[in-house]
Amino acid sequence: MNPRLRLALALAALAGGLVNLALLLRTGHGRPEPLAFLLLVIVGVSWSFVGAGLVAWSRRPANRTGALMVAVGLAFSLNGLRLVGTPLGFALWFLVATLPAAVLAHLIAVFPDGRATTRLQRVFIAVNYATTVPLALVQLLLVEPARLGCGGCPDGLLGIGGRRPYGEAVLAVSGLIEVGLAVLLLWILVTRWRRASGPRRRSLAPVALVGMVLLVLYLIQEALLVVVSRPAPFDVGFDLAILTLLMLWPLGFLAGLARARLDRSAVGDLAVELGEPLPPGRLEQALARALHDPTLQLAYWLPDRHAFVDAAGRPVELPTAGGDRAVTVLRHDGDPVAALLHDAALEDDPALVRAVAATARMTIENERLQAEVRAQLEEVRASRARIVEFGDAERRRVERNLHDGAQQRLVNLSLALGIARSQVGTASEEEIALALDEAAAELRHTLAELRELARGIHPVILSEAGLGPALASLAERSPIPVTVTAAPPDRLPPRVEETAYYVACEALANAAKHAHATAVTINARQHDGRLLVEVGDDGVGGADPNGSGLRGLADRVAAVDGHLHTDSPAGQGTRITAELPCES
Amino acid sequence: MRPTLLIVDDHPGFRSLARKLLAAGGFEVVGEAADGHAAITAARQLRPDVVLLDIQLPDIDGFEVTARLRDGEAGPAVVLTSTRDRADYGPRVDQCGARGFISKAELSGAAVHAFLGATG
């Protein structure tokens, strides 16, 4: 906050207090003793609130709590008007007399955020202020001054007098409104306390407890006013208790701030703890302890994946703004390094979170690298499992093809030959020739199927002649028209050729089977030490890169340190691009 | 009198060849079925002496069909067959109540007769 403003507010509070004290001295004798004593305490309350408020304001400028505390303090110094001693002075005091309590109620209702977050809070604050000066004005107009506490005032204080019949009703309604507001505030406090998380309760505690005691005291006092006819001694006693509590309350709040400062010594402890090598996962616990948030979660940024992961390499979702959870992202040269996912209450003290994060930066960087390695390991494990599974599935497929195809045909061939054999001697030569023709046809089909199957296992043209001829042969045999727009003229390392061919085969199979494409282009070209294989079709698009086919393809490409990219917007065809390093 | 026989297999090519072969081998082929359920229905209607039953069928497998056909002693003699070898199926062939197993490539009238002779 602006130092000039701070000085001005401090001086205003000091001056207000001193004026009050001067008024107290000037009135000298004849003043009601309990009142004089109460006023001394009120000056204490005023200075205490303004002082603590200014400290809080400077420490957490974004939080309105400090400003509200200063406002409470300044409002309390208005009480000196009571001592001016003239009816006009009394009337002025009476008009603003409920302001200190109203600002205080506002403060209690929104502590520690400093702003209303629920509708109930907003309604309370609005009604709370609406019933200060306007209600006092009605009372001044309609109630006889003696009932308001000004024994020596003339009946028509503001020029209107003799409205007694209404006066009592006004007092009763005012009392009901005040009690209603107190009960509502108590309700707000209790519900907020019950819903608050651990860290939030820590910051809510000083005001919630004092606020509840204050409200309960006030309600007892009101109840006594109804029961006891002459409540003055009780009244002064209660006022004194309430004011003393109020005077001490900002000190308690300051103690809370000091505890936050002490928490920075927890940062020191953290620094010591981080001096030793930590077992995995312990860093998160150490940070949770330093920030007093057992729900704290540490997530590391993986630039490769553009995602946050936990220490075990599993993906972590960041919370959205406005909820119970908040996130503080740690950056290095503008790039994210890690994120602390914590209770939103910690946002009250961003400096503490930053201090803890800065202290742990080196360790976090180390753990991030470890998390990155673990995530890669996790990915390698997963892809290894998928590759093994894929290999097994392929073997099952080959077995099934052999069984349903070639084997079945060979059985038929054997039966046909058996029939021909059984016909020798009994049937005509034509019949036997017919049976043998059937057997020969079966054999030709069998050979064709076996060739196709063998080519599916490994196309011999690929190893004999290279990728270009293999792609041309693939295009020739394809059921949908395929254009090969480019193919590398030279031979490439066998692993690269095989992977490139496999990409083309799979993409072609997908285009025919899933995309219902009518044309496919294959483009394979070398660029900058890499082989780029692009297969585009004019099909329905919408291919899922995480489906088993494309996932298997990506694994296969990753196995030669390549990258697979799938671009398949719905209704706009599919383009699969593999980038394969081909320097062996 | 020639024993009656029902052929159960999902490949029409095999069924027609087996029909010719077994007809030449001394059987009267009274019907064909392409899956397990059709086989059970056909066996009830036609009451063949023998069912030549492929193990791999599109709906229920040959072992299950055998168990249902053999439910009660009055059922037909079942001879299982497959493109695969007997060793591929282990002890299930003996346990399901079939009279025997013939690999498809070795199918002949004599081979089927041999099983019928074994127990009656």
User: A457 or A226: which carries more pLDDT confidence?
Assistant: A457
- CA distances A541 to A13, A254, A297, A573, Å, are 72, 64, 39, 4
- Among left, alpha and beta (phi > 0; psi -120 to 50; other), residue A511 is alpha
User: A121 or B120: which carries more pLDDT confidence?
Assistant: A121
Nearest to B24 by CA among A441, A418, A413: A418
> Do residue B11 and residue A418 have CB atoms under 8 angstroms apart?
no
A195 — pLDDT class (breaks 50, 70, 90):
confident
Query: Does pTM top 0.80 for this prediction?
Result: no
Of A150-159, A271-280, A309-318, B30-39, the one with minimum mean pLDDT is A150-159
The pLDDT tens digits of the residues spanning A142-183 come to 777 777 776 666 665 555 555 566 777 777 888 888 888 888
Shortest alpha-carbon distance between residue B18 and chain A (Å): 7
Average pLDDT of chain A is 82
Q: How many CB atoms lie within 10 A of CB A323?
A: 8
> Could you tell me how many residues make up chain B?
120
> Do residue B17 and residue A415 have CB atoms under 8 angstroms apart?
yes
Q: What is the mean pLDDT of residues A332-337?
A: 82
The confidence score (pLDDT) of residue A577 equals: 94
User: B41 or A272: which carries more pLDDT confidence?
Assistant: B41
Of A359-373, A434-448, A475-489, the one with minimum mean pLDDT is A359-373
A261 — pLDDT class (breaks 50, 70, 90):
low
Q: Which long-range contacts (CB under 8 A, 24 or more apart) does A351-355 make?
A: A352/A260, A352/A263, A352/A264, A352/A267, A352/A291, A353/A291, A353/A328, A354/A328, A355/A264, A355/A267
Nearest to A46 by CA among A22, A70, A82, A19: A70
Local structure of B27: helix, strand or coil: coil
Instruction: Give residue for tokens 């005291």.
Output: A217
Shortest alpha-carbon distance between residue A420 and chain B (Å): 9
Q: What is the mean pLDDT of residues A75-83?
A: 81
The pLDDT tens digits of the residues spanning A453-469 come to 888 888 888 988 999 99
- Rounded Cα distance between B32 and A135, Å, is 102
Average pLDDT of chain B is 88
Q: A466-581 — its CATH code? A: 3.30.565.10
**Which of A137-146, A360-369, B1-10: highest mean pLDDT?**
B1-10
Q: Which tokens hold the place of B40? A: 């059970």
SS3 content of chain B, % helix, strand, coil (to 5): 45, 20, 35
Helices (DSSP H) in A424-493: which residue ranges? 429-457, 460-465, 467-477
The pLDDT tens digits of the residues spanning A100-133 come to 888 888 888 887 777 787 888 888 888 888 888 8
Is pLDDT of A231 > 50? yes
- CA distances A157 to A83, A89, A175, A227, Å, are 17, 11, 21, 29
Domains delineated in chain B = 4-119 (3.40.50.2300)
Of A181-190, A471-480, B70-79, the one with minimum mean pLDDT is B70-79
The pLDDT tens digits of the residues spanning A550-583 come to 888 888 898 888 889 999 998 889 999 999 998 7
Q: What percent of chain A has pLDDT over 90?
A: 11
- Continuous segment of H or E residues that includes residue A565: strand A563-567
The confidence score (pLDDT) of residue A194 equals: 81
Which amino acid is present at A109? A
Is pLDDT of A381 > 50? yes
The confidence score (pLDDT) of residue B34 equals: 93
Nearest to A32 by CA among A95, A82, A81: A82
The pLDDT tens digits of the residues spanning A392-406 come to 988 898 888 888 888
- Rounded Cα distance between A203 and B110, Å, is 95
**Which chain B residues are closer than 8 Å to A410 by Cβ?**
105
- Rounded Cα distance between A553 and A549, Å, is 6
Q: What is the sign of the dihedral through the CA atoms of A190, A194, A197 and A201?
A: positive
Q: What is the mean pLDDT of residues B38-54?
A: 93
Residue A128 backbone dihedrals phi, psi, to 5 degrees:
-55, -50
- Asked if residue A197 lies in contact with residue A345, where contact means CB atoms within 8 angstroms, the answer is yes
Helices (DSSP H) in A308-428: which residue ranges? 350-359, 361-402, 408-423
The confidence score (pLDDT) of residue A155 equals: 63
> Do residue A418 and residue B108 have CB atoms under 8 angstroms apart?
yes
**Of the candidates B17, B24, B25, which has its C-beta nearest A412's C-beta?**
B17
Local structure of A525: helix, strand or coil: strand
Is pLDDT of B120 > 50? no
Q: Which residue of A has its CA nearest to B105?
A: A411
Q: What is the mean pLDDT of residues A229-252?
A: 75
Is pLDDT of A196 > 80? no
A35 — pLDDT class (breaks 50, 70, 90):
low
Q: Which residue of B has its CA nearest to A426?
A: B24
As for the ipTM of the complex, it is 0.81
The confidence score (pLDDT) of residue A350 equals: 73
Nearest to A10 by CA among A61, A60, A38, A51: A51
> Do residue B14 and residue A415 have CB atoms under 8 angstroms apart?
yes
**Which of A35-39, A64-68, A139-143, A477-481: highest mean pLDDT?**
A477-481
User: A484 or A442: which carries more pLDDT confidence?
Assistant: A484
The confidence score (pLDDT) of residue B66 equals: 92
- Rounded Cα distance between A163 and A148, Å, is 14
Taking the Cβ of residue A411 and every Cβ of chain B, the question of whether any pair is shorter than 8 Å is answered with: yes
**Which chain A residues are closer than 8 Å to B54 by Cβ?**
none
**Per residue in A114-134, is it b (16+ CB within 10 Å) or e — as a string?**
bebeeeebeebbeebbebbbe
The confidence score (pLDDT) of residue A56 equals: 82
List chain A domain ranges.
3-258, 282-378, 380-456, 466-581
Q: What is the mean pLDDT of residues A403-428?
A: 86
Is pLDDT of A28 > 80? no
DSSP per-residue letters across A90-127: HHHHHHHTTHHHHHHHHHHHHTTTTS--SHHHHHHHHH
> Do residue B105 and residue A414 have CB atoms under 8 angstroms apart?
yes
> Do residue B21 and residue A423 have CB atoms under 8 angstroms apart?
no
Q: Which tokens hold the place of B63? A: 């072992």
The pLDDT tens digits of the residues spanning A58-74 come to 877 777 888 888 888 88
User: A256 or A303: which carries more pLDDT confidence?
Assistant: A303
> Could you tell me how many residues make up chain A?
584
Q: What is the mean pLDDT of residues B74-100?
A: 87
Which amino acid is present at A285? Q
Shortest alpha-carbon distance between residue A511 and chain B (Å): 29
- Asked if residue A50 lies in contact with residue A9, where contact means CB atoms within 8 angstroms, the answer is yes
Is pLDDT of A31 > 60? no
